[in-house]
Structure 1
Amino acid sequence: MVKDAPRLPASWDPAIRDFVDRHPAMLHELANGFDAPIHLLFPERFARNAAAFERTLAEHRVMGRVYYAKKANKARCFVRAAADLGLGVDVASVGEFADALAAGVRGDDLGVSGPAKANPLLRLAVRHSALIAIDSLDELVRLAGIARHCGRVARILLRMQPASPRATRFGLDEASLDAAVALCAEHRSAMVLEGFSFHLSGYSAQARSDQAAIAVRACVSARARDLTPQTVNIGGGFAMSYASASDWADFLTAHRPADYHANKTFDGFYPYHAAGDGAHMLDAVLTAVPEGEARPLAALLSEHGLQLMLEPGRALLDQAGFTLFAVQGVKDRGDYGITTVNGTSFSLSEQWFASEFLPDPELLTAPHEPPRERVPYRACVGGASCLDSDMVTWRKIAFPQRPAPGDLLLYPNTAGYQMDSNESPFHELPLPPKLVVTLDGPRPRWCVDRLSTLSGV
């Protein structure tokens, strides 16, 4: 039964894989010392991911700017890395704005997104010259009043409703967009239109190229009104691969409801392998010929002197962190077991989407203990709360042996959205601390990440 269990082995950054393999005692010491689930972070990998996006822009001779979408992870170390690298940072709250400033990001390197932004956030953005993505006419009118009151000129993008809006609640439709451009022309003393933005669900490079061309045409039209837009913001949604193509295909073919505790089923999963991911997807966006055009998007941007702005979050965090839980107990349930760990499912946020984080967790047995019998053992993973639905992993994982108290479960590649999007101190359990690991010396070094200026951590 274990032999036929569906697996999804994670892909690994070689340096981080080497760290895990060579320093299991350190991992156990950290997990024991903090007495909680812990997240380990690797900002050096974040920097390499950012460099790949910037290389792609340069290869296509496209003026561009990468903004880190801060919502993907609250850790201060990634925002500090963004500041050091000269990236912008996308924020959507006063707390995120303040934390980015505290990490060294300049106000004019901040992008502010989100629907119907509250006046305190708009005021903060205006005073720090941040770039504000406007989502509605009401918000634009409020912003104009705030800018006049502050005696400043607001920098804005107008967020477009996608050409195929489906059920999105975001963006200005065609009529509202035209009215917003007219307001920008009317209130030049209070705001300057720097361009147009959009965000698409899904991971289609062609769809992003098509919508970007619509934004290019909007810039050209606005220039005819004596405005000076210069930016097209294509948002985020850059795919990320957690596993190989063959392993992902095999998993999709093999898994069945019986492979999950309580025969749990899901409406869908994140695509854990993408043929074009990260900076490769950006390359595909730039080389695609948009609908209605005769040349690639890169050529259109250059022709009109426009810069491309993008807001990857998950893709910048690829391989930039993993999560450790400690095993508290195991009980048998016939042909499988239930492993309980010292945290909850709130620390793997895929459950927020009524789904499952699928890459296989790894069992790290407790060091300095007598060897145990290595008989393959299938087990799902439950959280420490009193809720039946608190399952860290519903799938019955094929472990090489029966987990035991003192062992660790390592969940790979969790930095992008998984760590803290849904975290909660339910049951007064501590929030998992984030530890920043540096691998540039003879021995790994670590320190505690300060999450936020407002958190008291």
Structure 2
Amino acid sequence: MDHLYKQPDGKLFELVNQLKEPTMIYDLDGIKHTVRVLKEDIELIDNAFLHLAVKAIHNKEMLNHFAHLGLGCDVASVGEYRLVHDSGFRKITTTSPYYSRDSMSTFVENDIVMDLDSMDQLNDFVEMGYSKEVGLRIAIPIPEEMDTIATFGLDSRFGIDFYENKDELVRLKETYDLTISNLHIHTGQSTGASFQFKLNYLLDIASQIDTIKTINLGGGLFYLFHNREETRELFKEMNLLIRNWENVHGRKLEFIFEPGGALLAGNGYLISEIVSKKVHKKRNVTMLQCDTSFWNLSPWIRSNPIFLNRSDEVERVVFVGNTLFEGDSLSDFKEYEVPKVKRGDKVLFPAFGAYALTNARRFNRLNLPNQYVLIDGEIHSLEEEIRGEPFHSV
């Protein structure tokens, strides 16, 4: 059974030395593989669809590739919506902790139903009197025994507590003739147990709101796909549960999964050059100075660097970035044991496909990496402007 990610075309490693500047490479064949794996499993649940969380990547051409693979997408702002609105995604959804009234108007005018995050948002929406259809982002009270540091259950700051606000929701629904059509969650990584809990919780809410058509289960699929066989069995069980629910209530539901990291993280590589070496005396470790900044690029990223040299000797190193910030290091000065490195060697940092550039800083006014896509063993430039300054091709 295929894993979520596959090895990239070996030509990637041949091409690396042609690159003269820091570069981000997206592996399109790898992305297609990951999309296929996710679809195969998600579609074990009838009427379930794969979407992309646009917050993970803002490159227009790459977004077009995801649209052409038949995905939908979720946006967190009008800015993200404008980026994707003509890409051909099957469906566009949106949730955000804040929408200005102008933003609300834009989404309503374009027939995008907003999944609102708070009662204050909902009150703003009904006061506008502009639309009757709305969705709700729901806070999930994941039991303590199911919660983890990556689950974001009771620790999450997002979503409406349905049962705490049920009476007010009923009042607003009846007073303003609202149609609540969507339920939406996004609560960090899901384990099998927490996924079951979340689904049951949302189905219980849907049984009390007879206008619900769509349940968006968000992303956080890394834990689930650690053991794909178990996840497939789980999805089969959940499909039976959902079908029984639909038979009892006499209506069909659509289900959406919207990962960002799971689709992209393992299919993107940061390419950098070692420009100097020196020993950090207090830490007693060799510092490998890279020509790109980890502080500017990788707030959430943990990576296992790949070197192309074949030295039999190894050394203990940390990777540091090129800003004037003491903390500019890969994985908070994590130490790696790598083949002995010389100045000018290139290094590939995997797991940079998601969030790196959408979170990027321009500290010290340093250029962000060039962007390329690997297709059939060849790289193609994804030149575009970010924050007013263009990427430059090699």
Q: Same fold per TM (> 0.5)?
A: yes
Residue pairs, 1:177-256, within 5 angstroms: 177-188=166-177, 191-223=178-210, 228-239=211-222
d(CA) in 2 for partners of 1:330, 1:454: 33
Partner of 2:102, secondary structure, is: helix
Q: Does 1:97 align with 2:81?
A: yes
Could you tell me which residue of structure 2 aligns to residue 135 of structure 1? 117
Shift of 1:447: 1.9
Question: How do residues 46-445 of structure 1 correspond to structure 2 at under 5 angstroms?
Answer: 46-60=31-45, 62-105=46-89, 109-146=91-128, 148=130, 153=131, 155-164=133-142, 165-173=153-161, 174-188=163-177, 191-223=178-210, 228-239=211-222, 275-276=226-227, 283=232, 285-288=234-237, 296-300=240-244, 302-303=246-247, 304-333=251-280, 336-349=285-298, 352=299, 357=302, 359-365=303-309, 374-393=312-331, 394-401=333-340, 403-417=341-355, 419-439=356-376, 443-445=377-379
**Cα offsets for 1:384-440 (capped at 9, x unmatched):** 122221112412221211x222211110132123x224311111110112112211x
1:59 aligned counterpart, secondary structure: coil
Counterpart amino acid of residue 116 in structure 2: I
Query: Is the CA contact (8 Å cut-off) linking 1:46 and 1:318 kept in structure 2?
Result: no
Contact 1:45 1:320 in 2 (8 A): yes
Distance 1:348 1:45 in 2: 22
1:38 Cα deviation from its structure 2 partner: 1.0
* Aligned residue type for 1:28: N
Q: For the Cα contact (< 8 Å) 1:129–1:155, is it kept in 2?
A: no
**Structure 1 residues 194-250: Cα deviation after superposition (integer angstroms, max 9, x where no partner):** 121222233312212222122112222112xxxx21111111111169xxxxxxxxx
Residues in 1 aligned to 2:167 and 2:235: alpha-carbon distance in whole angstroms:
27
Structure 1 Cα separation of the partners of residues 62 and 132 of structure 2: 27
- Residues paired across the two proteins, number: 371
**How far apart in 1 are the matches of 2:390 and 2:230?**
38
What is the rounded CA distance, in whole Å, between the counterparts of 1:88 and 1:281 in structure 2? 26
3-state SS, counterpart of residue 124 of structure 1 = helix
Q: Distance in 1 between matches of 2:360 and 2:203?
A: 39
CA distance in 2, matches of 1:322, 1:74: 16
What's the TM-score, normalizing by structure 2? 0.84
User: What 5-or-longer segments of structure 1 have no aligned partner?
Assistant: 1-10, 242-273, 290-294, 366-371
Residue 112 of structure 1: how far off its partner (Å)? 1.0
How big is the shift at 1:281?
Answer: 7.2
Q: Distance in 1 between matches of 2:61 and 2:241?
A: 34
Secondary structure of 1:340 counterpart: strand
State the distance in 1 between where 2:38 and 2:246 align.
18
| Cα distance between partner residues in 2 of 1:455 and 1:187 | 46
Distance of aligned partners of 1:117 and 1:66 in 2 relative to their CA distance in 1, 3 Å threshold = same
Cα distance in 1, alignment partners of residues 329 and 41 from structure 2: 40
Shift of 1:168: 2.0
Check conservation: 2:297, 2:361, Cα contact below 8 A: no
In structure 2, the residue matched to 1:251 is none
Shift of 1:282: 5.6
- TM-score for the superposition, normalised by structure 1: 0.73
In 2 relative to 1, CA 154–433 (structure 1 residues): closer, same or farther, beyond 3 Å? farther
Cα separation, 1, equivalents of 2:230 and 2:33 = 16
CA drift of 1:29 comes to: 1.6
Q: Work out whether residues 213 and 254 of structure 2, in 8 Å CA contact, stay in contact via their aligned partners in 1.
A: yes
Please say if residues 35 and 263 of structure 2, whose CA atoms lie closer than 8 Å, have aligned partners that are also in contact.
yes
> CA, structure 1 residues 238+373, in 2 after alignment: closer, same or farther (shift >3 Å)?
closer
* Cα distance, 1:322 vs structure 2: 0.7
Structure 2 alignment gaps of length 5 or more:
143-152
1:176 to partner: Cα distance: 1.7
Change (3 A) 1:298 1:344: same
Q: Is the 8 A contact 1:63 1:308 kept in 2?
A: yes
Q: Which amino acid aligns with 2:108?
A: V
Structure-2 separation of matches of 1:300 and 1:453: 50
Residue identity (%): 19
| 1:446 equivalent among 354, 377, 380 | 380
Give the residue type in structure 2 aligned to 1:432.
P
- Name the stretch that deviates more: 127-136 or 112-121: 112-121
- Give me the CA root mean square deviation: 2.9
Q: Distance in 1 between matches of 2:379 and 2:23?
A: 16
AA in 2 matched with 1:54:
K
CA distance in 2 between partners of 1:284 and 1:112 (Å): 30
C-alpha distance 140-112 of structure 1, shift in aligned 2 (>3 A): same
Q: CA–CA distance in 2 between the matches of 1:178 and 1:198?
A: 21
